[in-house]
C-alpha cells in the first residue's frame, strides 16, 4: 500500500466519522520518507531523532503522516510555540498520540486533568495541584531523595560496569512520586511498567492496550480506597479532600490526576537524568569542567534539558484550518515536539551543540503556554540531587559499550539501558 494511499484512506475514514474513538490502521513498517510518513515509534527515531528533525526543519518544517489516522510534526520553535499557545485550535483531550482518538465529548475535562483538559476547566484543575509543587514544597523532598540516591550508589559497590539508567536514574523519580502520593515503595517496578506501557505501548492491539490501562486504573482505585479508609498526610489524601467549585472531585478526576502524576513524574525525569549521565559519560571535557567548577551544575542541567528534552506532547486539531502553510483537518493529531523546538537554530545559537555554560537558555523542555509543566521545580531538584550524588561518589565514568545503549521510543525519550564503566567510588 502506498503512503499516499494510506494518508488518503485515513482522511476518508475521518470524514466517515470512524476515527472518533475507533481504531485506524496500525502501521509499523519502517519509515522511508520522514516528511510524508513519519513515526516517532520508528527505531531510527528512538536511536537518534536529531538529524531527522534538523533535516525536516530545512526541507518540510511541518511533516505529516497517515499513520495514527493522520498526524503532523512541526519542528520549528515558532510553530511549536504557536500551537502550544492556542488551546482553542489544538485540544489536549489526548496528549499521547495513538491509533485511537478519544471522543470529543471528553473535552474540556479530559481523562487526566489538567494535562488532558482544555479551557475553561483546565485553569482550576491545574491550580489545585500548584501548592504541592512550589519550590518550597518540593524542597521538603530533597533530603530523602539525596539519601535514596546514595543508597542506590552504595548498592553498586564492587562493580566496574553498572547500568546508569536501570540501576540508578530509573529508580529515583519513582521513589519520589511514590512517597508524595503515599504508595508502597516496593511497588516501584510496577509504576515503571505502567509508565512505559502508557507511553510506548501505543501500537499494541486495542484490547491489549485497554487491559493494560485498566490494570493501572484499578491499582490507583485501590490506593484511593485505601486512603479513604486510612487518610494520611500525602498527595492522594489531599486530592480526595480537594474541592473544585465547592464540590469534592469525582473519583475519576482523582484517579486521572494520580495517573498523570505517576506517568508525568517518572519516565520524564528518569529520562532527563539518564540523558545527562549519557552526555557526561561521553564528554570528558564537560565532566572535568563540572568537577572543577561545581557551581556550573545548574546551568549545565538547563543545557541538558534543552539539548536532550525528553518530552513531546500531542494535540488534536479542533477544526479544519490552514496553519502555517499546511491544511489541517479536525481530529488530525499534532506532535508538539519541544525537543525539536529546542534545537531550532533560529531560536538558539549553536543549537546542535551542548554548551554547559550557555548563558541565555529559554528552552521549551517543560512546555510552553497554559500546560507548562507543574512539576518543573521537582524535576530540577531530582536532576540536581541525582547528578550531585553521582558526581560526588563516582570517581570517573565512561560508556562501557556505546552500541549497547538503548533509548525509549515514543513521546518520552531517554536511555533505557546505559552501561557505564566506573572507577572506584570516592566515598
Closest contact distance (angstroms) between CB of 8 and ligand HEM is 29
Residues in the chain: 427
Region of 23-31, 245-253, 261-269, 390-398 interacting with ligand HEM (CB under 6 A)? 261-269
Query: How far is it between the farthest Cα atoms of the chain?
Result: 65
CB 281 within 8 A of CB 419: no
Should residue 254 be labelled a site residue for ligand HEM when binding is judged by CB under 6 A?
A: no
Count of chain residues binding ligand HEM (CB under 6 A)? 28
d(CA 287, CA 111): 42
Residues 101-120 within binding reach of ligand HEM (CB under 6 A): 114-115
Cell matching residue 110: 479530559
- Per CB under 6 A, 272 contacts ligand HEM: yes
Can you tell me the distance from the alpha carbon of 58 to that of 68, in angstroms, rounded to the nearest whole number?
A: 24
Residue 420 C-beta-side C-alpha neighbours within 13 Å = 30
**Quick one: 34 or 308, whose CB is closer to ligand HEM?**
308
Stretch that binds ligand HEM, among 31-39, 245-253, 257-265, 386-394 (CB under 6 A): 257-265
CB of 390 to ligand HEM, least distance (A): 16
Measured from the CB of residue 272, what is the shortest distance to ligand HEM in angstroms?
4
One residue of 175, 371, 413, 416 binding ligand HEM per CB under 6 A: 371
Q: Does 265 bind ligand HEM (CB under 6 A)?
A: yes
Residue from 49, 188, 274, 367 binding ligand HEM (CB under 6 A): 367
* CB neighbour list of residue 89: distance below 8 Å, 6 or more residues apart: 83, 317, 318, 319, 321, 323
* CA–CA separation, 24 and 71 (whole Å): 12
Contact of 342 with 308, CB cutoff 8 Å: no
Interaction of residue 378 with ligand HEM, rule CB under 6 A: yes
Q: Residues 67-106: x/- map of binding to ligand HEM (CB under 6 A)?
A: -----------------x-------x--x-----------
- Per CB under 6 A, which region of 141-149, 161-169, 262-270, 355-363 contacts ligand HEM? 262-270
Angle between the N-to-C axes of helices 297-307 and 376-393, in degrees from 0 to 180, rounded to the nearest 10: 120
Of 56, 60, 174, 264, the one binding ligand HEM (CB under 6 A) is 264
The CA distance from 102 to 323, in Å, is: 23
Query: For strand 333-336 and strand 247-248, is the pairing parallel, antiparallel, or unpaired?
Result: unpaired
Q: Is 310 in the site for ligand HEM (CB under 6 A)?
A: yes
Q: Which stretch binds ligand HEM (CB under 6 A): 4-12, 224-232, 256-264, 396-404?
A: 256-264
Identify whether the C-beta of residue 56 lies closer than 8 Å to the C-beta of residue 34.
yes
Nearest to 258 by CA among 423, 129, 168, 347: 129
374 binds ligand HEM (CB under 6 A): yes
Is 373 one of the binding residues for ligand HEM (CB under 6 A)?
yes
> Phi, psi at residue 420, to the nearest 5°?
-125, 145
Closest Cα partner for 164 from 47, 43, 270? 270
Task: Please say which residue, 31 or 378, places its beta carbon nearer to ligand HEM.
Answer: 378
CB of 208 to ligand HEM, least distance (A): 26
Locate 409 and state its grid cell: 521510543
Judged by CB under 6 A, the chain residues 117 through 176 that form the site for ligand HEM are 126, 129
- Give residue for cell 491545574: 126
Count CA atoms closer than 13 A to 279's CA, side-chain side.
23
Find the shortest distance in angstroms from Cβ 364 to ligand HEM: 7
User: What are the residues binding ligand HEM (CB under 6 A)?
Assistant: 84, 92, 95, 114-115, 126, 129, 177, 260-261, 264-265, 268-269, 272, 310-311, 313, 338, 365-367, 371, 373-375, 378-379
Amino acid at each position: 500500500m502506498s503512503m499516499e494511499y494510506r494518508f488518503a484512506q485515513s482522511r476518508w475514514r475521518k470524514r466517515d466519522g470512524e476515527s472518533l474513538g475507533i481504531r485506524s490502521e496500525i502501521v509499523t513498517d519502517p519509515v522511508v520518507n520522514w516528511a510524508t510518513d513519519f513515526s516517532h515509534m520508528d527505531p531510527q527515531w528512538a536511536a537518534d531523532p536529531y538529524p531527522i528533525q534538523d533535516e525536516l526543519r530545512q526541507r518540510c518544517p511541518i511533516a505529516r503522516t497517515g499513520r495514527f489516522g493522520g498526524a503532523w510534526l512541526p519542528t520549528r520553535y515558532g510553530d511549536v510555540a504557536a500551537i502550544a499557545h492556542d488551546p482553542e485550535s489544538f485540544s489536549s483531550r489526548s496528549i499521547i498520540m495513538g491509533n485511537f482518538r478519544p471522543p470529543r465529548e471528553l473535552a474540556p475535562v479530559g481523562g487526566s486533568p489538567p494535562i488532558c483538559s482544555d479551557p475553561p476547566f483546565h485553569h482550576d484543575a491545574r491550580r489545585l495541584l500548584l501548592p504541592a509543587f512550589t519550590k518550597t514544597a518540593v524542597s521538603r523532598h530533597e533530603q530523602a531523595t539525596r539519601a535514596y540516591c546514595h543508597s542506590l550508589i552504595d548498592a553498586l559497590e564492587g562493580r566496574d560496569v553498572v547500568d546508569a539508567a536501570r540501576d540508578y536514574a530509573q529508580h529515583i523519580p519513582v521513589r519520589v512520586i511514590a512517597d508524595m502520593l503515599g504508595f508502597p515503595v516496593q511497588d516501584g517496578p510496577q509504576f515503571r511498567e505502567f509508565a512505559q506501557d502508557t507511553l510506548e505501548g501505543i501500537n499494541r492491539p486495542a484490547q491489549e492496550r485497554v487491559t493494560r490501562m485498566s490494570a493501572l486504573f484499578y491499582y490507583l482505585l485501590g490506593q484511593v480506597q485505601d486512603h479513604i479508609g486510612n487518610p494520611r498526610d500525602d498527595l492522594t489524601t489531599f486530592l480526595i479532600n480537594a474541592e473544585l467549585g465547592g464540590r469534592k472531585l469525582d473519583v475519576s478526576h482523582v484517579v486521572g490526576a494520580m495517573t498523570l502524576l505517576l506517568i508525568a513524574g517518572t519516565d520524564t525525569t528518569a529520562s532527563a537524568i539518564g540523558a545527562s549521565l549519557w552526555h557526561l559519560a561521553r564528554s570528558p571535557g564537560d565532566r572535568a569542567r563540572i568537577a572543577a567548577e561545581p557551581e556550573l551544575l545548574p546551568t549545565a542541567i538547563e543545557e541538558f534539558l534543552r539539548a536532550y528534552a525528553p518530552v513531546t506532547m500531542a494535540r488534536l486539531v479542533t477544526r479544519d484550518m490552514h496553519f502555517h502553510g499546511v491544511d489541517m483537518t479536525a481530529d488530525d493529531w499534532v506532535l508538539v515536539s519541544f525537543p525539536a523546538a529546542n534545537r531550532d537554530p533560529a531560536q538558539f545559537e549553536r543549537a546542535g551543540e551542548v554548551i554547559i555554560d550557555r548563558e541565555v537558555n529559554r528552552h521549551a523542555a517543560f512546555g510552553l503556554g497554559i500546560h507548562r509543566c507543574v512539576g518543573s521545580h521537582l524535576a530540577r531538584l531530582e536532576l540536581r540531587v541525582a547528578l550531585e550524588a553521582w558526581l560526588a561518589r563516582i570517581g570517573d565514568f565512561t560508556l562501557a559499550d556505546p552500541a549497547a545503549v538503548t533509548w525509549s521510543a515514543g513521546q518520552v525519550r531517554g536511555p533505557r539501558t546505559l552501561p557505564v564503566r566506573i572507577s572506584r567510588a570516592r566515598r
